[in-house]
Amino acid sequence: MQFIVDQQVEDIEMPENLKLNTFLKEFHSDCPHTECSFGLYGFAFGQSPFPVPKIVQEALIKNVGKGAYAAVPGIPELRNAISRYNKHYFGMDIAPERIYVGPGTKELIFNLLEILHGTVILPTPAWLGYLPQIRLLKKNYHMLPARANQKISPTDLKKLSLRLQDRQKILILNNPHNPTGLLHDRLELEEIADVCREQNIIVISDEIYAQTTYDFSKFVSMGKIYPEGTFVTNGLSKSHAAGGYRLGYVIFPHHATDLKRQFKKILATVYTAVSTPIQHAAIAGFEISKEMDEYFDVTRNIHQIMGEYTYHALSAIEGIKTTKPDATFYLLADFNAFATELQKVNINTSQKLSEALIVHPYHTAIVGGDSLVLERTDFSARIAYVDYDGAKVYQNYLDNKPKLSSERIEFVKNNAPKVVAGIEMICRFFKDIRKESWNNSQTQKNSMVTSS
């Protein structure tokens, strides 16, 4: 029996984050060199390293017996808690009826793209999750490349929008941003919102990293700036280190009653509701409490310390430019200054660069440019600085909070030795590339001299 798969499914590729596992297995075979028994330096996985907050774990255990189906948009206690959470942390008054809970924001973004008519505007670089969804839904889309500052330019947004024929357009805004770690501030969001109002652009504002903003007072939700046209998504995955719980939520614009009805139909048709015990556990994560407040505070401070170190250490390497993260646990490193040297040793694409870095003696995993919706030949990469034991580091931070800059550097050296060593490996790799490419050109020159 031969099974025929629909063409649009054939056409999409495995999402890059899942491809990464296969790639690492394929290229990082167990190394015979004893000094390489550490495995690899993991800058590739975008996962919070901390334990799920204790009060969330306890709530899950307590509610494990709740086997009944939940209401489609989520249980009322959870929608109420999310409403209070948004008021407390983001200063937004959101009626619980505007909040729909789903199995992760990835699914909710997919469902939104499914029901909203319009051409999608995808700013790049971008999180690797959006594009396969847009392709699967066969939606029209256009990229909006960032300017040199790696942010969305309102002027470029307007220019692009004027070229599009659609009555309605959908901008995917990811703030704070994966992979650059940058935050669009209030003023920048206001300028984007002005264009969106004028051009009838709806915004899906993916704010999954909001709580990780290092100077939290700087975070402003697009839901506050452009409430009439923004769908805000957020959830447990990054702020609560609970990606595996699969729980996210979307806030609808206040007048979107009919749209909510359509959305509910889709949810009911596709997955009914999020697991009931998980919803009860999530209440503990969204209720305002001393425990959660401390958790957000400690985890964002540790991300900041690791980010500062990674930024300074990478930018100290001649030729490497990186974004200076305001949030998240990522930065974007630009290796394009090495393009000529890389090409000389047959590394012509970002995929090839990732492969060259994962093999002996470097054993360093990064996410290369084409996985970030950049050109295949763009030698930029996302560096996730989370390769450490989150539970231990959390406790060490509480025991002795590093304040001075020298103490913060010491903290990284003591608590995240693989981050430190991985950056040294990247440095060594590019030194070797320079040497090898120079040797290659010398050999070429010599052979030209002997043959002439």
Ligand X SMILES: Cc1ncc(COP(=O)(O)O)c(C=O)c1O
> Binding residues for ligand X, per CB under 6 A?
46, 104-106, 127, 129, 174, 178, 206, 208, 235, 237, 243, 248
- Smallest separation (angstroms) from ligand X to the CB of 89: 17
Nearest residue (CB) to ligand X, 205 versus 350 = 205
- Is residue 341 within 8 Å of 432, Cβ to Cβ? no
Token code pair at residue 79:
């929608």
Nearest residue (CB) to ligand X, 237 versus 354 = 237
Nearest residue (CB) to ligand X, 277 versus 402 = 277
Nearest residue (CB) to ligand X, 214 versus 362 = 214
- Smallest separation (angstroms) from ligand X to the CB of 44: 12
CA-derived radius of gyration, the chain: 23
Distances (CA, A) of 87 to 67, 93, 213, 245, 300: 31, 6, 17, 24, 20
- Is residue 109 within 8 Å of 131, Cβ to Cβ? no
Burial class of residue 9, CB neighbours in 10 A (0-12, 13-18, 19+): exposed
- Smallest separation (angstroms) from ligand X to the CB of 103: 8
- Smallest separation (angstroms) from ligand X to the CB of 176: 9
- Smallest separation (angstroms) from ligand X to the CB of 278: 12
Nearest residue (CB) to ligand X, 174 versus 350 = 174
Cα 307 to Cα 44: distance, rounded to the nearest angstrom: 15
Cα 384 to Cα 307: distance, rounded to the nearest angstrom: 9
Nearest residue (CB) to ligand X, 188 versus 341 = 188
- Smallest separation (angstroms) from ligand X to the CB of 237: 3
Whether residue 123 is preceded by a cis peptide bond, meaning omega within 30 degrees of 0, is no
Distances (CA, A) of 440 to 318, 340, 349, 429, 436: 21, 12, 19, 16, 6
Cα 275 to Cα 290: distance, rounded to the nearest angstrom: 26
- Closest-approach residue to ligand X (CB): 104
- Smallest separation (angstroms) from ligand X to the CB of 328: 8
Cα 205 to Cα 251: distance, rounded to the nearest angstrom: 10
Nearest residue (CB) to ligand X, 106 versus 352 = 106
169 three-class SS: strand
